A and B are shown apart, each in its own frame.
Chain A
Amino acid sequence: MQTEKEQSILSIRDLSVWYGDNQILKSLSFEVQQGQVTALIGPTNCGKSALVRCLNRLNDFTPDFRFTGEILFKGSDMYAEKTDTAAIRKQIGMVFRKPRPFQCSIYENVAYGARISGISQSSQLDDIVQKNLQKTCLWDEVESILDETPEQLSTGQQQLLCIARALAVEPDILILDEPCGELDPIETVKIETLVRDLTKDYTLIFATNKRRQAARISDAAGFLYCGELIEFGMTERIFTNPQDTKTEQYVTGKLG
């Protein structure tokens, strides 16, 4: 138990979230372990996105957002006063459901994170771009069109580009908010393979409403339903021996 605590990179304690008068999340607590894929499963509108957006303080831009509870990142309170939110977001990257590449060249898309961190040497940028595009298995496809805009890429390629863009900032944690929501099955397989590869270097949080996908790729899983964390544990146990009846109904397809 002690070793498990030491590996914990992100602890969510008693987190409740409101948008205006709507309570979106009700008193969640769980730990994200370093080097694992933590899946958050649950039907649409169960609060997955609201939860992951709390984890890198993107909710700060949502009007009427308020919360109670604590989120500890590497032991320190993420929402403490005087926290450098930009620095937090550099360490906790995020990829969204719909790929949104910037309207500049593919190269500049990946180099964006490095540029805002102050790297401007072209040789260094070249390395960063190549390394991250190779990591996402996109290098061979786009090597010849680096100076063109990402509009011509397929949705799946655009999503991979967005992942490369997020990885180029060198985050500790990468949040993927339904990254396959807009993709076809072949592209989905690519992303899933990539996610498994990335666990060597990163901690991943994977929000999805596809229960089978979570079962395939995650180490730990949490089941969210109507803003409540019904159950959290190792993926194998959640899917084979769920403690809660709702979880059982969900993983067997009777609910949601």
Chain B
Amino acid sequence: MTRPKLRKKIILLSITVIIEIVALIFFWNALKKTDVTNGQASPALGTSGGLPNLLGDLNLILPISFLVILLGIACAFYVEEWLSATNWVRRFIESQVAFLTGIPSLLYGLLAVAVFFGYAGVFKATLQNAEGSALAGTPFQRNTALFYTETLIFILTVMPVAIKTTQTALRSVETPIRESAYALGATQWQVLTKQVVPRAFPRMLAGGCRAMARAFAAAALLVGIYAWSHTMELRGFPDRFMLFLGGALLLSNASSFLTEIYVPASTQHN
């Protein structure tokens, strides 16, 4: 009964993804025609192509997001499975998560630019070329500085969403299923690994996608705003803008798809 439904969903998802990609390509072309990228960029900055930029961005984003989401999931497991509802640590974490998820992600992007880049002086370091500068060989080379900045911002932006969605995923596993496993003498660890996680996994994955989509959307907005106001110093735009926008779209799509896959057992019986 479930398989044809799943196939239908996969077909639908593929169609939406194709439509999105086509729309993005059209959009990209339209942007290129306005000559935003080639405007008056200096030759030194303009030499780097779009692809290295994109790969560089992904190289930076993917490991960090993986780590941060993993940390968020671990945190959610600890809070949801090991702490009682009245525990003050749990209440503190949950209130903070509610607070942080309530803030539009663009603000975190602005925070990243303002505080970590501007105030903390990281921005200067990133602008300087590694060779020939006083900062050469120090941790504040371009990628290192970006790495720290991005990790901190991801902890603020991505982790609360990851915690929240993982918690929801864990709660979506019905109590009777847990109880049946416990009643058979399973330990908490066995119940988690053999019953809860397999059932909650699609939703946890969806949560991770949603968290990432949030970060990507913020990045796309920032890159867009920055690019349109400072066309001169632009490198790799609109490639980056498209990467983040496309990423955000695809991830949110994947998130809703993964949420749809999971059908609770109770509705299957009825």
Contacts and interface: CB of A to CB of B under 8 A. Distances in A.
Contacts of B7: none
Report, as a range, how many residues of chain A touch the other chain. Answer: 20 to 34
A102 B180 contact: yes
A254 B85 CA distance: 43
A166 interface: yes
Interface in A8-24: none
Given A100-B177, A113-B184, A116-B194, 7 more contacts: A86-B186, A89-B185, A102-B180, A102-B195, A112-B181, A165-B180, A166-B183
A90 B184 contact: yes
A94 B175 CA distance: 15
A96 B180 contact: yes
A93 B177 contact: no
B268 A100 contact: no
A166 B179 CA distance: 12
Interface in B12-45: none
A3 B23 CA distance: 83
A61 B182 CA distance: 10
B176 A103 contact: no
Interface residues of B, number: 25
Contacts of B195: 102
Contacts of B194: 112, 116
Which of B176, B178, B186 has most A Cβ within 10 Å?
B186
Contacts of A96: 176, 179-180, 183
A169 B181 CA distance: 11
Interface of A: 56, 58, 61, 63, 86-87, 89-91, 93-96, 98, 100, 102-103, 112-113, 116-117, 151, 162, 165-166, 169
B269 interface: yes
Given A100-B177, A103-B199, A116-B190, A58 B184 contact: no
8 contacts: A61-B175, A63-B86, A96-B179, A100-B176, A103-B199, A112-B194, A116-B186, A165-B184
Contacts of B177: 100, 102
B185 A117 contact: yes
Contact of B84 (A63, A102, A151): A63
Interface in B157-203: 174-187, 190, 194-195, 199
A100 B182 CA distance: 13
A86 B187 contact: yes
Contacts of B185: 86-87, 89-91, 93, 113, 116-117, 169
A151 B265 CA distance: 9
A90 B187 CA distance: 10
Contacts of B199: 103
Contacts of A61: 175, 178-179, 182
A55 to B, nearest CB: 11
A65 B1 CA distance: 41
B194 to A, nearest CB: 8
Q: Which of B174, B178, B179, B185 has the most CB of A within 10 A?
A: B185
Contacts of B84: 63
A233 to B, nearest CB: 28
Contacts of A89: 182-186
Nearest to B188: A86
Contacts of A117: 185
Nearest to A60: B182
Contacts of B186: 86, 89, 116
A98 B269 CA distance: 11
Contacts of B184: 89-90, 93, 112-113, 116, 165-166, 169
A56 B186 CA distance: 12
Nearest to B86: A63
